[in-house]
């Protein structure tokens, strides 16, 4: 009878060889047990480089989950990167919210036809062309969207944060339209993101592409190839050439990125929130409050949309009465692409200011070049500011997809990292201070209780009596919307 050790060695499968990323990441993680390595990505080009280069380095799996994937230059470049990875043998899973895939059905069919790519859609529309008809017949479901954003490679590196996929998020146009923030992470939290992706991938809210679109079994044969103009785009070629010019690109290749090591955990909504079936205690706002704890000194909050509601305002004022200093940076009306959502914030400004809460509104980044268009109530959350982050007492940070509004709290699914890191909290704080000084209007009440917008220009204070860079029609729309009982939709 053979010895037990021999029997085990004969029967146990040989573990697969480590991937390139595993070989790079494992020694770093072993040197920092129980901690996660984090790199904050606030530069738009670096954020694209991270995704593109990691897709190039993938050898085993790519799990990709997004609310918006634009059919534009950067969106196509990243889809080509996924396709090339699949051609190398990488298993690619692409999970998209269906609210923003309009016009992409043929592209998704092509990708899904690849034997190593599978596409699934969250809360898909039955009407593929006239999608608005779906809201007439199935509003309760279609009003709930998957706002999560993650990009996980070989199960060892992940990117989580506020960015969607598109030119505006990566500075790929003449000027970057959105100011945003992601985190690249290694360590234990990557397993949490992978498990969460699996939970969404298998959820009842998600449908395989072949169950949504008509796909013939023999529709596509041979090697999958996107349209020729995708490969021949001169602008895309120039943008790709810029990638090598960033320090981030070389640091990523050489393993010399400035990593912050900290305890990090993922918070993510139950995907059943997409059906209205998630229990209250499982929703991200409640869990976020439990994990972050009660602030004692300072809260810095950066939010593309800030709609606190009556309960949120009451909570903020309770903190103020306990001596907590609160500063909030959000979009101005001039920078906001959904005026009705701005109304949900504007109605509370005077009350917040009267109680000592500091309010700052970001100026539009592309004045006179790329006007911000109102995208409607269920638009893409696009504005000059798109980041969603806050820090508490200079010690804890949240970075993720969660907008501080009722839609994120009760309708859309959300995710993000809670990070125990004073250095990262200081980075966020300094980012906040820079925005206050150079890129935002500071709000204050005058002696008659009216809001003034204070701008620093060449060392001088300029006082605006009306919302700067806005039209009368915009201001009237906000005033009208603030009277309507639609805050729960915002």
- 430 flagged as catalytic: no
Fold agreement between 33-254 and 265-489? yes
Asked if residue 270 has pLDDT above 50, the reply is yes
pTM greater than 0.85: yes
**One of 147, 273, 342, 396 is an active-site residue; which one?**
147
| Distance, first Cα to last Cα, the chain | 71
Q: pLDDT class for 449, splitting at 50, 70, 90?
A: very high
- 388 flagged as catalytic: yes
- 87 flagged as catalytic: no
Tell me the C-alpha distance between 3 and 90, whole Å: 39
**One of 149, 273, 342, 363 is an active-site residue; which one?**
149
Domain boundaries, the chain: 33-254, 265-489
- 370 flagged as catalytic: no
Asked if residue 144 has pLDDT above 90, the reply is yes
As a whole number, the mean pLDDT across the chain is: 87
Asked if residue 376 has pLDDT above 50, the reply is no
**One of 43, 97, 98, 154 is an active-site residue; which one?**
154
**One of 233, 393, 420, 464 is an active-site residue; which one?**
393
**One of 273, 342, 386, 396 is an active-site residue; which one?**
386
- 464 flagged as catalytic: no
Asked if residue 197 has pLDDT above 80, the reply is yes
Q: pLDDT class for 171, splitting at 50, 70, 90?
A: confident
For residue 252, the model assigns a pLDDT of 80
Q: pLDDT class for 60, splitting at 50, 70, 90?
A: very high
Average pLDDT over residues 50-79: 96
Q: Which CATH architecture has domain 265-489?
A: 2-Layer Sandwich (3.30)
**One of 273, 342, 363, 388 is an active-site residue; which one?**
388
Topology given in CATH for the domain delimited by 33-254: Endonuclease; Chain A (3.30.870)
- 147 flagged as catalytic: yes
């Amino acid at each position: 009878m053979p010895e037990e050790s021999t029997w085990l060695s004969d029967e146990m499968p040989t573990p697969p060889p480590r991937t390139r990323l595993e070989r790079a990441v494992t020694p770093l993680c072993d040197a920092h047990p129980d901690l996660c390595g984090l790199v904050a990505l606030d530069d738009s080009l670096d954020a694209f480089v991270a995704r593109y280069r990691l897709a190039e380095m993938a050898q085993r799996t790519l799990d990709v989950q997004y609310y918006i994937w634009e059919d534009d230059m950067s969106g196509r470049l990243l889809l080509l990167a996924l396709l090339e990875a699949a051609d190398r043998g990488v298993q690619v899973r692409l999970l998209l919210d269906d609210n923003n895939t309009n016009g992409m059905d043929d592209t998704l069919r092509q990708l899904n036809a690849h034997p190593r790519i599978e596409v699934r859609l969250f809360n898909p529309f039955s009407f593929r062309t006239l999608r608005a008809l779906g809201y007439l017949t199935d509003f309760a479901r279609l009003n709930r969207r998957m706002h999560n954003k993650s990009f996980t490679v070989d199960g060892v590196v992940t990117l989580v944060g506020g960015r969607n996929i598109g030119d505006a998020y990566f500075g790929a146009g003449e000027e970057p339209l959105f100011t945003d923030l992601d985190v690249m992470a290694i360590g234990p939290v990557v397993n949490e993101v992978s498990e969460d992706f699996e939970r969404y991938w298998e959820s009842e809210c998600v449908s395989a592409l072949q169950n949504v679109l008509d796909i013939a079994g023999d529709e596509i044969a041979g090697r999958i190839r996107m349209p020729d103009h995708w490969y021949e785009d001169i602008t895309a070629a120039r943008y790709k050439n810029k990638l090598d010019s960033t320090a981030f690109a070389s640091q990523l290749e050489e393993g010399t990125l400035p990593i912050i090591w900290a305890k990090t955990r993922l918070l993510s909504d139950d995907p059943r929130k997409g059906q209205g079936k998630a229990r209250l205690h499982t929703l991200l706002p409640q869990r976020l409050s439990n994990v972050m704890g009660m602030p004692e000194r300072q809260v810095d909050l950066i939010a593309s949309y800030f709609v606190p509601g009556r309960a949120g305002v009451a909570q903020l004022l309770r903190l103020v009465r306990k001596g907590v200093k609160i500063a909030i940076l959000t979009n101005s009306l001039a920078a906001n692409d959904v005026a009705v959502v701005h109304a949900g914030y504007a109605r509370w400004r005077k009350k917040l200011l009267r109680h000592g809460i500091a309010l700052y509104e970001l100026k539009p980044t592309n004045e006179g070049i790329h006007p911000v268009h109102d995208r409607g109530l269920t638009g893409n959350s696009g504005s000059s500011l798109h980041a969603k982050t806050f820090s508490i007492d200079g010690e804890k940070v949240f970075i993720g997809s969660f907008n501080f509004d009722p839609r994120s709290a009760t309708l859309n699914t959300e995710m993000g990292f809670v990070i125990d890191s004073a250095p990262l909290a200081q980075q966020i704080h300094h980012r906040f201070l820079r925005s206050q000084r150079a890129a935002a209007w500071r709000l204050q009440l005058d002696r008659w209780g009216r809001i003034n917008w204070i701008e620093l220009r060449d060392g001088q204070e300029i006082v605006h009596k009306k919302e700067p860079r806005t039209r009368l029609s915009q201001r009237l729309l906000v005033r009208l919307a603030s009277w309507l009982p639609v805050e729960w939709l915002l």
